[in-house]
Chains A and B, each alone.
Chain A
Amino acid sequence: MKQKQKTILTAVALLVVVGLLFVAERSLNPYYQRILNLCAIYSIFAVTFNLIFGYTGQFSLGHAGFAAIGAYVAALLTLSPAQKAVNFFLKTIISPLANLEVPFLFALIIGGFITALLSMLIAWPALRLRGDYLAIATLGFSEIIRVLMVNLQSITNGALGLKGIPGYTNLFWSWGCLAVCIFVVKRLVDSSYGRAMAAVRDDEVAAEALGVNLFKHKMMAFGLSSFFVGVAGGLMANLISTIDPKVFLFTLTYQIVGVTVMGGMGSLTGSVISACLYTIFLEALRPIESQFTIGSLTVPGIPGMRMVIFSFLLLMVVLFYRKGLMGNKEFSWDGLFRFFKRLLPKKNINSPGGGGS
């Protein structure tokens, strides 16, 4: 297929997606909208985790903590002074924060930057470690962040959490941020810097011998990844409108790792597909956590049953389908056509449906 045709197809697909988002934003009920928003937020989590682990090879388990920073910063910057006064009834909020209120866009960006900054501060010593040791160190830091949030009551309102965060997040914000995130990450990993990161992942010693500054490239991946994690955290805070430190338990990190592995390490397409499927399935499986009856057998509702199924799926992927949904392949029109041709060997396919963004 010619390049020009592909460009047109991509443009059409993007328009279709934007159109669909518009329709969804207008007419879909809030519950479904919320699921679609969560799809985008989890996609950002998965894409950023892919950048740091799939492309750069650094097994960092700090995502939950970093998301918490972004979420709290965005929440504190978007809450109105009156709402803050209501929230902080045990201990008053420190003075500069009490009257600060900025537009959502700035809140997200500031949240992203602060997350990136703090995560790089953590990464500075932690990135000297490799493999499992790095994972343990970042996991520890992530928990430290959460514990700090419980105890810094005059900033975060402690275990009480923040309530009444304005629900600015809509489908355009969440999917827009995802689009920017994918664009930046994809462009970076395809650039010379991305090749250097892949070199670091495949063989640190050889990469260094070829003149790749290990520390600089790991920090770059870490910083960029954390920036978007922070943004996604902000989106999440302004979507669910109530956050407390428990939202950002390390189980969130494990979910992100699981989603990314199921999508395929080194495939952004896989990350997005897997994150969407995960979010939707998790909602669809909600009934099994309440009481249900099979024939004459009545199963009592067991909270957390969904996670058992999720763990089982993850186990299956790790055992039998190591490469995940997409392996390290990305979406391409040629690939899509080949896929359809394989599905329908006899027929001639001329008009494809809308693709992913």
Chain B
Amino acid sequence: MTPLLEIQSITKQFGGLTAVNNFSTQLVAGELCALIGPNGSGKTTIFNVITGIYEPTDGHVIFAEEDISGKRPDYITGKGIARTFQNIRLFKGLNVLENVIVGKHLRLDSDPVSAVLHLPKYLQEESDMRKKGMTLLESLGLAHFAYDEPTSLPYGLQRKLEIARALATEPKLLLLDEPAAGMSPSDAEELMAFIQHILKTFNLTIFLIEHQMRVVMGICPRIIVIDHGEKIAEGDPEKIQNDERVIEAYLGVVDHA
């Protein structure tokens, strides 16, 4: 089986700083995989390279048998990779439903002229968009807030809305950047259950970044650990927990002096 996403030894340097060094991995369709590592280890940089925000200094990203390294972010989203952000980036000027259907805009067929003239085809597409957006909000339990301002939602729901918005682009691969950041342990647990739920219902492949190991241990069959931009371990939770280098990275080296 060919992998859905193949990262071929990517390196990303900012001036003299190497944020990611020779990182490779593969994700097969339907997988839930976690990327963990201490602060500043290069997790988000890897996501930014995959989604086209950064062009890799070296190496390639292959998605669905196409080399997408260095392509524009909106092109990559169109190919089927959606993402959320570590710091919530909702559109404050749009309501909850509109935030979601912005994600549908790239599938819009009508040109601006027919949109301005309200041609039947555009009106049909617009109402389809809204319906699909509402269905999505309903399935994620956000329908009640459809016409509210996104900033009026509680923090946990804003996170969910970010995920809903990403799902609106109809992705094959969903990248979640620290979805549980800033949440209490019980909220984080609930969110992880929610992630498992959408993995199945939306037929997704999910690659998620997490800072705390504890959160992903229960749900991710495969975990990749990086430190200082390099992969130091990869495998199931049990293997990771007992890996010398992982313990070292998280707890520091024991000083025998």
The answer to whether A205 touches B89 (Cβ under 8 A) is yes
The answer to whether B93 touches A201 (Cβ under 8 A) is yes
Residues on A with C-beta less than 8 A from B94 are 195, 198-199, 202
Tell me, yes or no, whether A148 is within 8 Å of chain B by CB: no
Residues on A with C-beta less than 8 A from B91 are 198-199, 202-203, 206-207
A-contact bits for B65-101, CB 8 A (1 contact / 0 none):
0000000111001100011010001111110001001
A-contact bits for B162-180, CB 8 A (1 contact / 0 none):
0001101100000000000
The answer to whether B92 touches A209 (Cβ under 8 A) is no
Restricting to A204-255, which residues have a CB under 8 Å from any CB of B? 205-214, 220
Tell me, yes or no, whether A196 is within 8 Å of chain B by CB: yes
The answer to whether B116 touches A202 (Cβ under 8 A) is no
Docked Cα-Cα span, A207 to B104, in Å, equals: 11
Tell me, yes or no, whether B140 is within 8 Å of chain A by CB: no
Tell me, yes or no, whether B193 is within 8 Å of chain A by CB: no
* B1-9, B105-113, B238-246 - the one binding chain A: B105-113
Docked Cα-Cα span, A213 to B102, in Å, equals: 12
The size bracket of the interface on A is 20 to 34
Docked Cα-Cα span, A188 to B110, in Å, equals: 12
Tell me, yes or no, whether B183 is within 8 Å of chain A by CB: no
Contacts A191-B126, A205-B89; A211 near B112 (Cβ below 8 A): no
Residues on A with C-beta less than 8 A from B103 are 210-211
Tell me, yes or no, whether B115 is within 8 Å of chain A by CB: yes
Q: How far is the CB of B246 from chain A (nearest CB, A)?
A: 30
Q: How far is the CB of A270 from chain B (nearest CB, A)?
A: 15
Q: How far is the CB of A10 from chain B (nearest CB, A)?
A: 16
Q: Which of B78, B102, B117 has the largest count of A CB atoms less than 10 A from its CB?
A: B102
The answer to whether B74 touches A191 (Cβ under 8 A) is no
Tell me, yes or no, whether B131 is within 8 Å of chain A by CB: no
Docked Cα-Cα span, A198 to B102, in Å, equals: 9
Residues on B with C-beta less than 8 A from A208 are 53, 72-74, 77
Tell me, yes or no, whether B223 is within 8 Å of chain A by CB: no
Tell me, yes or no, whether B129 is within 8 Å of chain A by CB: yes
B102 to A, closest residue via Cβ: A199
Docked Cα-Cα span, A196 to B126, in Å, equals: 13
The 4 closest A-B pairs by CB, nearest first: A211-B106, A211-B77, A206-B89, A191-B115
Given contacts A195-B101, A213-B72, 9 further A-B contacts (CB under 8 A): A192-B104, A192-B129, A199-B102, A206-B85, A209-B83, A209-B166, A210-B106, A210-B166, A210-B169
> Which chain A residues have a beta carbon within 8 Å of chain B's beta carbons?
184, 187-188, 191-193, 195-196, 198-199, 201-203, 205-214, 220, 266, 328
